[in-house]
Amino acid sequence: MALVSSREIIYDAYQNNYAVGAFAAHNLEILKAVCDRANRLGAPIIIQTTPGTINYLGLERTVSMVKATAEKVAIPVALHLDHGDSFETAMKCLRAGYTSIMIDGSHLAFEENIKLVRSVVNAALPMGVPVEAELGTIGGVEDDLDVDEANAMMTDPQSAKIFAEQTGIDFFAPAFGTAHGLYKKDPELNFGLLGEIKKLVSLPIVMHGASGVPDQDVIKALSYGVAKVNFSTELKVAFATALKGFLDIHPNESDPRKYFVPAMEAVADIVEKKIELLGSSSRVAVK
């Protein structure tokens, strides 16, 4: 199937009380593992890449790789820019064929964040590409972005309302207690804050930093309007752990077609667990 807009995927989830998994694909092996397992489960998915992954793979190669993989499956697949770091990056991804954009101005002053996001929305709207943006500061490490716990900042609900209205975004990513990367202990999500945001912002909510969040908290978040849930760290850890485990047992193996297999299977198993958790399996009839 050709790449689709994330809008149709996310709004179906939003209106039907489930969420779509947005999985970070750092290489071809992870991409294939995610798409093949999601296809087996009949689950729509979002493949997302950060600017760091784009720099690693190359923009045109990234788009071609995802398009070719999506065309081999029967489920809807959207290609999303995660944490776009500038207007220029967002425009390059739009022109290259991304079907969903996040522009992250959360490090900017409130008015500057609005100005940046609005400029991306104005460019993406005529192309039919939806835009996600963040207000508040989600902690942890994502590519070269490192926000320590002291500098993470929860989203103010009234500011969220103004932000959503003045930017015209399609999806909203608030900071309510999650973080990127590995958690040292279970995160404490502020569902009271999320509830206030839901009352004031009539948009699908995006949960960043979902790797390691307890299942019961992810399920609870869906009742607060969360319709897109991002996973990255758990996929990378599963891939690396399985790969290291195989090479520990087979230290002389040099064929990537052999040592990547258990790594891909480990990623696929994580993807299946997340899809079942979010309630997105069997949403698409797959022959």
pLDDT in tens, 119-168: 999 999 999 999 999 998 765 455 555 444 544 588 999 999 999 999 99
Residue 95 lies in a domain: yes
Q: Does any domain span residue 50?
A: yes
* Number of domains making up the chain: 1
d(CA 144, CA 166): 29
Q: Residue 104 falls within a domain, yes or no?
A: yes
Active site residue 82: yes
pLDDT tens digits, residue range 167-201?
A: 999 999 999 988 766 656 677 899 999 999 999 99
In a domain, 244, yes or no: yes
Question: Which CATH number goes with the domain that contains 270?
Answer: 3.20.20.70
Q: Evaluate whether residue 270 is within a structural domain.
A: yes
The pTM of this model reads 0.92
Beta pairing, strands 77-84 & 45-49? parallel
Residue 1 counted as domain residue: no
207-237: burial string, b at 16+ Cβ within 10 Å, e else: bbbbbbbeeebbeebbebbbbbbbbbbbbbb
Q: Which of 36, 82, 186, 248 is catalytic?
A: 82
Q: Which residue has the higher pLDDT, 286 or 121?
A: 121
> Quick one: average pLDDT of 41-60?
98
Task: Please report whether residue 284 resides in a domain.
Answer: no
Domain limits at 224?
A: 6-278
